[in-house]
Structures are given as structure tokens and as C-alpha cells.
Amino acid sequence: MNAVSADSGKPWSIAPDERKAALEIVLLKRTYVLPWSQFLYAEGGDDEIRLVFVAHDVVVRGSGLSVLLADLAAQRVGAMREPSRPERFSALGGRFIREVIVQRIDADGERG
């Protein structure tokens, strides 16, 4: 398996030859582990991607994110990491994540 470690400074890790069981989202103050079995769809472009799970919406903002859509659809992304404040301003070009927002969806469809 070839994977990019989240500790290597990359904002996401991908297992190119296998599906992952869950997506780990590491935020500055909280970590979420969302099972891919609850994944519904992903949409977006270069600057923003939205992932929809049964009970959570995830919005990822940054640059060069459209290349991530195929890996999300194939459920090969194992982890995403929200950058620290200094990392947000040091990324000048290429592919990077600037912000990750996770919102819980209530049984009534309300986000909170």
C-alpha cells in the first residue's frame, strides 16, 4: 500500500489500491471517524468540496481539491487533517486544505 502519512505535512492520505473502512478527519480540537458505509456523495471543484454522509456534512476548502473527488468516490481517502493557523497562511500554491468544517445532521435534517 502506498499512502501519504498525515504526519508528513500532507493534508490527506490515500490508499491507491484499496478501499478504506472509514475516513478520519482530524480537526484542531476534535477528531471524527466517519464510516465509508454511511457515505452518500461528494461534489465540488478546485476550491471547495462537500462530502455528505448519513449524519454529517463535511466541507473542505482549499486549493487543487478537484483531484480528490475521484479518490473520495472510490473511498480510498483514509484521513484528512485541518491545518494549524500558521500552515493555512504558508501554503501559497498547489494542492492544500485551508479549512475543514464538519456539521452534524439531526434526524429532522437540521444541521447543527
Stronger pLDDT, 88 or 13, i.e. the higher one = 13
Averaged over 19-30, what is the pLDDT?
A: 93
What band does 37 get if pLDDT is binned at 50, 70 and 90?
very high
The whole-number pLDDT of residue 89 equals: 59
Q: Is 44 left (phi over 0), alpha (psi -120 to 50) or beta?
A: left
Task: In whole angstroms, give the CA distance from residue 106 to residue 103.
Answer: 10
Q: What is the spatial distance between Cα 18 and Cα 101, in angstroms, rounded to a whole number?
A: 26
Interatomic CA distance for residues 2 and 34, integer angstroms: 22
- Whether 13 and 3 have beta carbons less than 8 Å apart is answered as yes
> Model pTM?
0.79
Classify 6 in phi/psi space as left (phi over 0), alpha (psi -120 to 50) or beta.
alpha
